[in-house]
Amino acid sequence: MLDTILIGTSGLLGHAQGLRTIGNNLANVNTPGFKGAQLDFANLVNQESGGRQAGADNRPGRGAGLETLGTRISFQAGMDRATGNPLDLSIDGNGFYTLKRGEQLLYSRAGDFQFDRDGVLTNHSGDRVQGLDGHGKLTDITLDNLQRNMPKATSKVTFSGSLNTATEAPASQTNLNGVTVYDPAGEAVLLNLSFLHKGAGDYALTVTDPAGKTLHVSNVKFTAGFPSPVSSEVTFTHTPASGNPFTLTLDLSQGVTSLAQTSSLAMLAQDGYRAGLPTGQAIGSDGKLTVYYSNGQSATGERIALANFLNADDLEQGSGSTFIARQGVPVRYGFAGSEDFGKLVPGHQEGSNIDMASEFSNLILMQRGYQASSHVISTANDMIQQLFEMKGR
């Protein structure tokens, strides 16, 4: 009878652990990147009386109750959720994010990332997201060298439209005022352009500043209404009031003609810009960080590293939707979209992989198992009580 009570007790303890596992799964049904676990059971078998092993002499061993073998983690992908946050990521395929907590490496499928006050990419638990440097070593992903976008002096200005083909003054002159370019310090510089038609496709180009000071004079030749090869680009060096000289090329080859009686000359583009400050960050499907600046420019930073394992069962569950690799387990690092690593989906998160219908079904089974084990103990106790009562009669 006492053995029966111990068997029932093992059932109570085992099903209580199972209930705890299911409760933890259901509590984390909305936790990003959470992976559900399942408790494995096995039966216990006692040795035969007289010191013989169970099964010796073809005699079966006696059942001794319930044994728990530990939990198995399900690494099935969770439900995809769109968040709209450009720093949120989900992995479409194989791989884990690599995180650093102190000096410990952790692995996760939860891609809820942000930059902390030091400009380091972390998850919401403060673990630092790892990338790979040029030598293949893990490194923090930071904004250290991306806090400012340096200015760039304009080197080329492209124009389009038509010059006036008249030769009688004042209609013979095409003017384009207020052309904005940038010096090496990122300061805006205004230029005025004047094309004076002298006849036979010849134009005298004069470049002045807003005060009327002449900066450059040259001849431009058009043949059959298009700039001749030697006249398609006009290059000169300008030293503005800031004292920062820069060389400027006026490109007429991208659509400037002399085929109309009226002028339609306009600036098409210029390649300079002022200094810029960060206005936002995003992570692409390849895991590369991109920073956007107030001057319309962008720059790229480190690339997120993904980790992969020969057997995902070598991972143990940690806190914050993370996993810990067992001692000595080999890990391989790489980038999203390369080899067998999955691709990243920006603006999305991977939710938990908990199936509530299955968990509630398992919950009922655990409850019934616990209830049955308690009945076994109760029945054995009643039988012992009856035995004690027989002695007293």
Per-residue pLDDT tens, the chain, 393 aa: give them.
778 888 888 889 989 999 999 999 999 999 999 999 998 888 877 655 444 454 555 556 677 888 888 888 999 999 999 998 999 999 999 999 999 999 999 999 999 999 999 999 999 999 999 999 888 899 999 999 999 999 999 999 999 999 988 888 777 889 999 999 999 999 999 999 999 999 889 999 999 999 999 999 999 999 999 999 999 999 999 999 888 899 999 999 999 999 887 889 999 999 999 999 999 999 999 999 999 999 999 999 999 999 999 988 889 988 889 999 998 899 999 999 888 899 999 999 999 999 999 999 999 999 999 899 888 888 888 888 888 877 655
CA distance 218 to 393: 132
Cα dihedral value 385, 389, 391, 393, nearest 10 = -170
Q: Beta 233-238 vs 138-140: how paired, if at all?
A: unpaired
Given a contact cutoff of 8 angstroms between Cβ atoms, the answer to whether 71 and 39 are in contact is yes
DSSP-derived secondary structure for 100-158: EETTEEEEES--BEEE-TTSBEEETT-PEEEEE-TTS-EEE-B-TT-S-BPPB---EEE
Q: Tell me, what's the pLDDT at 50? A: 44
Domains of the chain with CATH codes? 2-75+353-391 (no CATH), 82-145+278-350 (no CATH), 156-270 (2.60.98.20)
Q: Kindly provide the residue ranges of all beta strands, DSSP E only, lying in 209-265, ordered along the sequence.
A: 214-223, 226-227, 233-238, 246-251, 256-260
Q: Tell me, what's the pLDDT at 99? A: 97
Q: Tell me, what's the pLDDT at 60? A: 61
Given a contact cutoff of 8 angstroms between Cβ atoms, the answer to whether 267 and 179 are in contact is yes
Q: Tell me, what's the pLDDT at 392? A: 56
Sign of CA dihedral 180, 183, 188, 189: negative
Closest CA to 87 of 337, 372, 339, 280: 280
Q: Beta 214-223 vs 113-115: how paired, if at all?
A: unpaired
CA distance 89 to 110: 8
Q: Tell me, what's the pLDDT at 85? A: 92
- The pLDDT tens digits for 17-65 are 999 999 999 999 999 999 999 988 888 776 554 444 545 555 566 778 8
Closest CA to 217 of 234, 199, 231: 234
Tell me how crowded residue 219 is: count the other CB atoms within 10 A of its CB.
12
Given a contact cutoff of 8 angstroms between Cβ atoms, the answer to whether 90 and 348 are in contact is yes
Q: How far is CA 154 from CA 87, 158, 187, 247, 351, in A?
A: 33, 11, 10, 8, 48
Which residues are within 8 A (CB) of 23 and not within 5 positions of it... i.e. 6 or more apart?
none
In angstroms, the first-to-last Cα distance of the chain is 21
Given a contact cutoff of 8 angstroms between Cβ atoms, the answer to whether 376 and 382 are in contact is no
CA distance 65 to 8: 7
